[in-house]
A and B are shown apart, each in its own frame.
Chain A
Amino acid sequence: MSDYKAGSNLEKVLKAGHFAFTGECGPPQGANIEKLKEKASHLKGCVDAVNITDNQTAVVRMSSWAASLTVQQEGLEPNFQMVCRDRNRLAIQSDVLGVYSHGIRNMLCLSGDHQRFGNHPEAKNVFDIDSIQLIKTVKVMRDEGKFMNGQDIDVPPRLFIGAASNPFAEPYDFRAYRLAKKVAAGADFIQTQCIYNMERFREFMKRVVDMGLHEKCFILAGVTPMKSVGMAQYMAKQVPGMDVPESLIKRLRGAPKGKVADEGIKFAVEQIQEFKEMKGIAGVHLMAIEWEHKVREIAELAGMLPRPTV
């Protein structure tokens, strides 16, 4: 009997003390499975697990569990994302059982973007439970073999439980505490929101380390390379809870013509180098949005390859 909670590759890599590297893949807005396979192919061999987003930004896409299975068949390890926006507790628990029975071993528990952002703003939302209650639900299903109603589960699902943390949302002073709540509820690993303001992130991590949270869960720092000045400006102004310092926008602006994306990658690589040394950070979660083909290049530049086999 192993002492792994779920025995996923991600769990093994982290527990062996390696600096983890996870990627992300958004399912297609359609049943275009070839496109999904093509996207996933760029990540193969570059990451320890790949997050499969769940109707991210409240835009309808192929279901995260179905896309997770496809990615798994392609030889990658999925990190199945689930949001509370679209499912009540019955659907949540049945999907957890479903993905586990098909071999999925990682799950990221999220509340989900409000549907007002998405392409069906007239939808009714669910939010029967919140992300922290979801973490606890999956933990109790795994460790106690019980449904939310206390009933026994016939073969409990054993998932490596992830959660998100946004160090840059307000109120800042509460963010480390909220992370602590997620850890206490049962999060095994944390993937943070995209980090651009390194100064503020260092402060956040100092608090997290002072609270000893890094010893109770694995924290993966979120990195999204900037493709353009426009993207940086959009993220700075339009995306709530995103902190893009003016100095970064200036740096991108200063890049020679046609070289802004390279500068964005350079910044991301510098970040990864720093995260490798930063106390409390166990890995990096690279969200190269619609830029999957750049993941290998970034991984190579950051010295993340080859990925360990455990």
Chain B
Amino acid sequence: MIVAEAKPVSEILAMVKDVKKVLVLGCKGCVTVCNVGGAKEAGILASALRIASRKQGTSIEVAEHTLERQCDPEYIEEVKNIVPDYGAVVSIACGVGPQFLSERYPNVRIFPGVNTKFMGGAVAHGIWSERCAGCGTCVIHYFGGLCPIARCSKSLMNGPCGGSSHGKCEISKDVDCIWDMIVRKAMEQGRLEELLEFRPPKSWATARDGGPRQMIREELVK
């Protein structure tokens, strides 16, 4: 899923300071699963904004609503009769949501209520971890099903570097060295020779480096 974290209320408050009516818009997709942008969180943020605005002597009217998904024009369309009533929308979907809203409702100010972090999952309750860098050409089968592009700090294809220590990355004791895992797994499975092979430079043309990406599946295009 796409993992996000809430922006501080003070930051959001600063964004909407000149607006009289604000709609907090949640999303039932990934951000609901990572407890940051669903219906529950939309309600919490709306209350927090109301309280904070009252405290600072402004009276912003805040409403909340949650869509099935904000990465789909069909659902974005659902709020066409609500959105124009508000001066601003604070989307607490991932970065896709506020942009779909901005494109569909060009006359309404759209603000991001979360920081979109990465593609990953929950490794324990309350702990999320990155797994995919979306490079556009998956290569994890060369590395025992583990991704050095997303999970090695230097995206080494021929790791591990000299900074691997006690299974941790040189950048922080809180970051696992994925190459340590890759090597140990290969050794345990008797597949070490696969790692001895030179892995050539990757083409980043399919990653964000190749420019903003688009995917077209002709058979689905009407």
Contacts and interface: CB of A to CB of B under 8 A. Distances in A.
Interface string A177-197: 110110011000000010000
A184 B195 CA distance: 13
Given A114-B171, A240-B170, A170 B180 contact: yes
Contacts, number: 97
Contact of B184 (A113, A165, A166, A171): A171
A133 B164 contact: no
Contacts of A240: 163-165, 168, 170
Contact of B165 (A114, A117, A169): A169
Given A111-B156, A171-B184, A164 B162 contact: yes
Interface stretch (B22-30, B45-53, B198-206, B214-222): B198-206
A130 B157 contact: yes
- Classify chain B: how many residues form its interface, as a range: 20 to 34
Contacts of A169: 160-165
A114 B153 CA distance: 7
Interface residues of A, number: 37
Interface string A128-141: 11111100110000
A277 to B, nearest CB: 26
A170 B180 CA distance: 7
B7 interface: no
Contacts of A131: 156, 158, 161
B155 to A, nearest CB: 5
A73 interface: no
Interface of A: 84-85, 89, 111-114, 116-117, 125, 127-133, 136-137, 148, 164-166, 169-171, 173-174, 177-178, 180-181, 184-185, 193, 240-241
By Cβ-Cβ distance, the 9 closest A-B pairs, closest first, are: A166-B162, A132-B158, A240-B170, A240-B163, A130-B156, A240-B165, A169-B162, A116-B171, A129-B201
Given A169-B164, A174-B195, 11 more contacts: A125-B154, A131-B161, A148-B201, A170-B167, A170-B177, A170-B180, A171-B184, A177-B196, A180-B196, A181-B158, A184-B198
